[in-house]
């Protein structure tokens, strides 16, 4: 007599054969060819992010310093699929003073294969970004660009959302 786990395994295999008769979506795909990541290029991207404050140091009346963790999704703005649908996770440092704000951040973009792009940024409400490396297909990536931000309505100091728009030009390190 088969145990229930053995029956379920057989049922799952049968269901897989019915739903995917050519075996195109199985973990053991053979012969699937992915396009290599281009050695250089440019992209217009938007990261839709939600942030939660981690620490706020209030130095009233001179200002404050704070840090936040942000997560979201990156979509291309130019219709390209090459960098579309990346997960993004950042730590952002903010400095508020009478003369204005300054932000700096460090981010990791992760694609569906688990490959990562590492990015830094700085500026007040816009500024410069830099891609400083990565893993997998992005291992040798270097890039520079600019960013700007559009805040979502209803933000507060503890929880806030924004769209982080950025243009980047990248190349690969020469070996």
pLDDT tens-digit profile of 21-32?
A: 444 444 444 444
pLDDT tens digits, 67-114: 999 999 999 999 999 999 999 999 999 999 999 999 999 999 999 999
What distance in Å separates the CA atoms of residue 64 and residue 61, rounded to the nearest whole number? 9
Q: What would the two tokens of residue 168 be? A: 């980047």
- Do 64 and 56 contact (CB within 8 A), yes or no? yes
What distance in Å separates the CA atoms of residue 142 and residue 117, rounded to the nearest whole number? 9
- pTM equals 0.78
Q: What would the two tokens of residue 10 be? A: 């057989």
pLDDT tens digits, 96-108: 999 999 999 999 9
Domains in the chain, start-ordered, CATH in brackets? 41-172 (2.40.480.10)
């Amino acid at each position: 007599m088969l145990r229930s786990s053995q029956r379920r395994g057989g049922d799952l295999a049968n269901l897989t054969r019915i739903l995917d008769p050519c075996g195109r979506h199985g973990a053991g795909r053979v012969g699937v060819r992915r396009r290599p990541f281009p050695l250089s290029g440019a992209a217009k991207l938007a990261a839709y992010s939600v942030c939660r404050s981690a620490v706020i140091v209030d130095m009233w009346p001179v200002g404050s310093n704070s840090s936040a963790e942000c997560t979201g999704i990156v979509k291309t703005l130019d219709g390209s699929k090459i960098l579309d649908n990346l997960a993004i996770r950042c730590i952002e440092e903010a400095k508020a003073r009478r003369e204005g704000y300054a932000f700096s951040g460090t981010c990791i973009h992760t694609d569906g294969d688990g490959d990562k792009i590492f990015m830094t940024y700085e500026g007040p409400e816009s500024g410069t970004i830099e891609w400083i490396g990565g893993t997998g297909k992005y291992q040798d990536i270097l890039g520079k660009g600019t960013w700007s931000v559009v805040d979502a309505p209803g933000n507060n100091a503890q929880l806030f959302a924004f769209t982080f728009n950025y243009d980047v030009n990248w190349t690969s390190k020469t070996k």
